Amino acid sequence: MGKRMIRTGARDKAARANEVVSRLRDAYPDAGIVLEFTTDWELLVSVILSAQCTDKMVNQVTATLFQKYRTIEDYASADPAEFEQDIRPTGFFRNKTKHIIAAAQKVLLDYGGEIPASMAELLTLPGVARKTANIVLGNAHPEAYATDPEAGIAVDTHVNRLSQRLGLVASANSDRIERELLEIIPRADWFRLTYLLIEHGRAVCTAKRAQCDNCVLQDLCPSAFKV
């Protein structure tokens, strides 16, 4: 197999990133959030629960949780010990319980029971950092996300791993990865990029062993057949 010559300058990265997005859009035309929810608040709860947990497990837990706690007020007044047991399978249940109950109280007190429609406000909620805020804003308020000056790209474990393997970023830090991606990805693709990389990370470029033979990005990837 011939040696790959992949340029890594800023312009080259941007051009390669655009091609990555184009090919992944063709490969995963329906890429999007797989968490199951019916309200903006349930979306926020699901995303908080998804930290260090699979979406499949979150959906299993919330199928019961969302029947038991139907309003934000239900969450705000929940018994912490009982709530911990309700979400225990998602892991880190004590911290998640604190964050969700406190977030419910803040949403009621400061935002009239409505999920904020700006990054700045979302980031004031307990348990909400940039990844969660980007996901919630992009799904709950897509028009606000499209123009919010603080909006960006949600970097989860798949986005982190694939961005590095593809040579699009030089850092392993999620915040730095986001900043580097924002420099080379057109804003119109920010939101969808997360879900495209998640789909590809689950199906092909897995953490343990990448299936490079089956990868549509093989010729664009400096890590091809090396991981």
Which domain does 26 fall in, by range? 10-30+152-214
**Residue 7 pLDDT more than 70?**
no
50 and 138 housed in the same domain: yes
21 and 64 housed in the same domain: no
pTM: predicted TM-score of the whole model, two decimal places = 0.94
What is the phi-psi region of residue 53: left when phi exceeds 0, alpha when psi lies from -120 to 50, beta otherwise? beta
**Residue 1 pLDDT more than 50?**
no
**Assigned token pair, 77:** 């007044």
**Could you report the per-residue pLDDT of 59-79, keeping only the tens digit for each?**
999 999 999 999 999 999 999
Mean pLDDT of 191-216: 97
| Mean of pLDDT over the chain | 96
d(CA 34, CA 14): 28
Contact status, residue 46 vs residue 136, Cβ threshold 8 Å: no
**Could you report the per-residue pLDDT of 155-179, keeping only the tens digit for each?**
999 999 999 999 999 999 999 999 9
Q: Pick the residue with more confidence: 186 or 4?
A: 186
DSSP-assigned states of every residue in 114-157: S--SSHHHHTTSTT--HHHHHHHHHHH-HHHHHH-TT------H
Catalytic residues: 131, 156
119 and 166 housed in the same domain: no
**Residue 108 pLDDT more than 90?**
yes
Residue 160 lies in a domain: yes
70 and 111 housed in the same domain: yes
Q: Pick the residue with more confidence: 94 or 4?
A: 94
143 and 45 housed in the same domain: yes
Band of pLDDT at residue 3, cut at 50, 70 and 90 = very low
**Assigned token pair, 25:** 């859009």
Q: Looking at residue 174, which CATH number applies to its domain?
A: 1.10.1670.10
**Residue 181 pLDDT more than 90?**
yes
**Could you report the per-residue pLDDT of 116-154, keeping only the tens digit for each?**
999 999 999 999 999 999 999 999 999 999 999 999 999
**Residue 115 pLDDT more than 80?**
yes
Tell me which residue of 110, 103, 113, 166 sits closest to 133, measured CA to CA.
Answer: 103
Residue 4 lies in a domain: no
Would you state the pLDDT for residue 12?
87
**Residue 4 pLDDT more than 60?**
no
**Residue 53 φ/ψ, nearest 5 degrees:** -150, 150
Provide the domain count of the chain: 2
In DSSP terms, 205 is beta-bridged to: 210
169 and 82 housed in the same domain: no
Biggest CA-to-CA distance, the chain: 63
Cα–chain-centroid distance for residue 135?
6
Q: At 205, is the secondary structure helix, strand, or coil?
A: strand
Would you state the pLDDT for residue 100?
99
46 and 140 housed in the same domain: yes
143 and 185 housed in the same domain: no
159 and 209 housed in the same domain: yes
d(CA 155, CA 146): 17
Residues present in the chain in total = 227
162 and 85 housed in the same domain: no
Contact status, residue 42 vs residue 66, Cβ threshold 8 Å: yes
Would you state the pLDDT for residue 2?
44
202 and 122 housed in the same domain: no
105 and 169 housed in the same domain: no
**Could you report the per-residue pLDDT of 11-47, keeping only the tens digit for each?**
789 999 999 999 999 999 999 999 999 999 999 999 9
